[in-house]
Amino acid sequence: MSEPVEPAKRYLIRTFGCQMNEHDSERIAGLFEADGMVAATDVEDADVVVLNTCCIRENADNKLYGTLGHLKSVKDRRPGMELVVSGCLAQKDQDGIRERAPYVDLVFGTHNVHQATELLHRSRTEGPLTSILTETVAADHELFPSAMPAHREHGHTAWVTIQIGCDNSCAFCIVPAVRGAEISRPFDRLVHEVAELAGAGVTEVTLLGQNVNSYGRDLTLAARQAGDDVRVRPLFADLLREVGAVDGIRRVRYTSPHPKDLRPETIAAMAETPAVCEHLHLPVQSGSDRVLAAMHRGYTAERYLEKLAAARAEIADLAVTTDIIVGFPGETDDDFERTLELAAAAEYDSAYTFIYSPRTGTEAAEMVDQFVPADVIAERFERLKVVLERSALAKHRGRIGRVEEVVVEGLSRKDQALTTGRTRQNKLVHFASADPLRVGTFAEVEVTDAAPHFLRGRLVEVTAAPRHRTRIPVAAG
For the whole model, what pTM was predicted?
A: 0.81
* Adjacent-strand bridge partners of 110: none
What is the C-alpha separation between 438 and 421, in angstroms, rounded? 11
Q: Distance from CA of residue 262 to its chain's centroid?
A: 19
Higher local confidence (pLDDT), 108 or 322 = 322
Higher local confidence (pLDDT), 19 or 77 = 77
Q: What is the pLDDT of residues 336-367, one digit of tens each?
A: 999 999 999 999 999 999 999 898 889 999 99
**What pLDDT, on the 0 to 100 scale, is given for residue 112?**
81
| Single-letter amino acid, residue 331 | E
What is the share, in percent, of the chain residues with pLDDT greater than 70?
Answer: 91
Any idea how long the chain is?
477
Q: What is the pLDDT of residues 36-72, one digit of tens each?
A: 999 998 998 999 999 988 766 666 677 888 888 889 9
Mean pLDDT confidence for 394-408 = 98
Q: Distance from CA of residue 204 to its chain's centroid?
A: 15
- The dihedral over CA atoms of 324, 329, 330, 333, expressed in degrees to the nearest 10, equals 40
Residue 161 dihedral angles phi and psi, to the nearest 5°: -75, 120
What is the C-alpha separation between 254 and 19, in angstroms, rounded? 10
Residue 153 confidence class, pLDDT cut points 50, 70, 90: low
Pairing between β-strand 319-326 and β-strand 350-355 as defined by DSSP bridges: parallel
Lowest-confidence region among 28-32, 52-56, 307-311, 389-393:
52-56
- Residue 427's nearest CA partner among 346, 318, 345, 354 is 318
Helix axes 301-314, 333-346, angle to 10 degrees: 10
DSSP H helix total and E strand total for the chain? 14, 19
* Adjacent-strand bridge partners of 280: 320
Buried/exposed 184-199: b ≥16 CB within 10 Å, e otherwise: bbebeebbebbeebbe
Residue 376 DSSP symbol: H
Contact (Cβ atoms closer than 8 angstroms) between residue 171 and residue 363: yes
What is the C-alpha separation between 210 and 182, in angstroms, rounded? 8
Residue 325 confidence class, pLDDT cut points 50, 70, 90: very high
| Single-letter amino acid, residue 271 | A
Cis, peptide link before residue 412, omega less than 30° from 0 = no
Q: What is the pLDDT of residues 78-117, one digit of tens each?
A: 888 999 999 888 888 888 889 999 999 999 987 788 888 8
Helices assigned H by DSSP within 226-364: 236-244, 264-272, 289-295, 301-314, 333-346
State the DSSP H helix or E strand holding residue 317, giving kind and residue range, or none if neither: none
Residue 475 confidence class, pLDDT cut points 50, 70, 90: very low
Lowest-confidence region among 23-32, 181-190, 299-308:
23-32
